[in-house]
C-alpha cells in the first residue's frame, strides 16, 4: 500500500496570507517541506482521496495526480471539504453540458447532514451536474476497493461528527485520523501505521484540542509500529519555531514518529 500525504497543514495553510513571519517567508521562498497545504491523503493504488480541503487543486497538481475515483470525508469542516468544487467541477464538460466522469463520495450519515447544512452546493454536483454519487458508510462499515478495505471509525461511535478511516491490505493496517482527535474514544491496536493530527504545543492556551504530551501517551498506549503526525498548524510552528519539531522527536525518542510534510510518501 502506497500513501501520499498531499497536505500536512492545519486549518490555515503555510504560508499564511498576509503573514511576514520567518516561517511563512521561508515557505514562500523555498516551498517544501516548509510549505504546507491543508490535510488530505491519497491512496495511490485505488486513486482514492481522503478529505478535500480548499487548496486541494494545488495539492493534486503539485504531485501530478491526474485521477481520483473515490473520495472519503472525515468531517464537514472547510479545511477538509471546501475543495469539493474544483475537484467535482473538473469532472464536468461544460462545452458538452455533461459529466466526463463521476467520483464516488463516501461519508457517514452525520457527516453528510453536517455537510449539507454548511456546504449545500454538494447537492448541485450530485443532482444537477451528476459528477458524483454519494454513499453512506457508517461506523464499523467498510468499502472494498480493489485490494484495499476502507472502514469508517467514528471517534465516539455511530453518531460521531468526526471519523477516521482504517485502511487494510492483506495483513497491513493503517489508520488515518487527521483532526479533532481529542474526542477519539476507540481502542485500536496492532497498527502498522497511524497517521494522526499533531497535538498542540500551546496546550496552556488551547484547551479544545489534544495536547502534544497527551497524544504521545495515547500513542504509547496504542503502540503502532510507526506514527506520522499531520495537520500541523502554521500558528504553532510560528510560535515555537521549526527546530521545536526536532526537539520533540528527541524528547520522545522512545516513540517511532515523524512529522508529515507535503508530498511525503509512505509504503506499508
Could you tell me if 76 and 111 are in contact, meaning their C-beta atoms sit under 8 angstroms apart? yes
Summarised one tens digit per residue, pLDDT across range 204-221 is: 999 999 999 999 999 999
Distance CA 197, CA 180 (A): 8
- The reply to whether the predicted model has a pTM over 0.85 is yes
Cell of 151: 472502514
Could you tell me if 122 and 130 are in contact, meaning their C-beta atoms sit under 8 angstroms apart? no
Question: What band does 124 get if pLDDT is binned at 50, 70 and 90?
Answer: very high
Mean pLDDT of the chain: 97
Distance CA 236, CA 201 (A): 7
Distance CA 246, CA 89 (A): 40
Q: Classify domain 2-267 at the CATH superfamily level.
A: Ribonuclease Z/Hydroxyacylglutathione hydrolase-like (3.60.15.10)
Distance CA 234, CA 138 (A): 33
Amino acid at each position: 500500500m502506497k500513501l501520499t500525504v498531499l497536505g500536512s497543514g492545519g486549518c490555515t495553510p503555510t504560508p499564511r496570507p498576509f503573514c511576514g513571519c520567518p516561517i511563512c517567508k521561508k515557505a514562500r521562498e523555498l516551498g517544501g517541506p516548509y510549505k504546507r497545504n491543508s490535510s488530505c491523503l491519497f491512496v495511490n493504488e485505488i486513486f482514492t482521496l481522503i478529505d478535500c480541503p480548499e487548496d486541494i487543486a494545488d495539492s493534486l497538481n503539485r504531485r501530478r495526480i491526474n485521477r481520483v475515483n473515490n473520495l472519503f470525508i472525515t468531517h464537514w469542516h472547510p479545511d477538509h471539504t471546501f475543495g469539493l468544487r474544483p475537484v467535482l467541477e473538473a469532472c464536468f464538460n461544460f462545452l458538452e453540458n455533461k459529466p466526463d466522469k463521476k467520483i464516488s463520495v463516501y461519508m457517514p450519515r452525520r457527516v453528510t447532514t453536517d455537510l449539507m447544512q454548511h456546504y449545500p452546493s454538494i447537492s448541485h454536483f450530485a443532482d444537477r451536474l451528476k459528477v458524483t454519487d454519494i454513499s453512506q458508510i457508517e461506523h464499523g462499515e467498510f468499502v472494498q476497493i480493489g485490494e484495499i478495505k476502507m472502514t469508517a471509525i467514528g471517534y465516539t461511535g455511530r453518531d460521531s461528527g468526526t471519523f477516521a478511516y482504517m485502511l487494510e491490505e492483506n495483513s497491513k493496517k493503517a489508520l488515518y485520523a487527521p483532526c479533532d482527535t481529542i474526542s477519539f474514544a476507540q481502542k485500536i491496536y496492532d497498527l502498522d501505521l497511524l497517521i494522526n493530527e499533531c497535538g498542540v504545543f500551546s496546550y496552556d492556551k488551547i484547551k479544545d484540542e489534544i495536547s502534544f504530551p497527551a497524544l504521545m501517551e495515547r500513542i504509547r498506549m496504542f503502540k503502532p509500529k510507526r506514527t506520522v503526525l499531520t495537520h500541523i498548524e502554521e500558528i504553532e510552528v510560528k510560535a515555537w519555531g521549526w527546530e521545536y519539531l526536532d526537539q520533540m522527536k528527541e524528547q520522545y525518542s522512545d516513540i517511532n514518529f515523524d512529522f508529515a510534510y507535503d508530498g511525503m510518501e509512505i509504503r506499508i
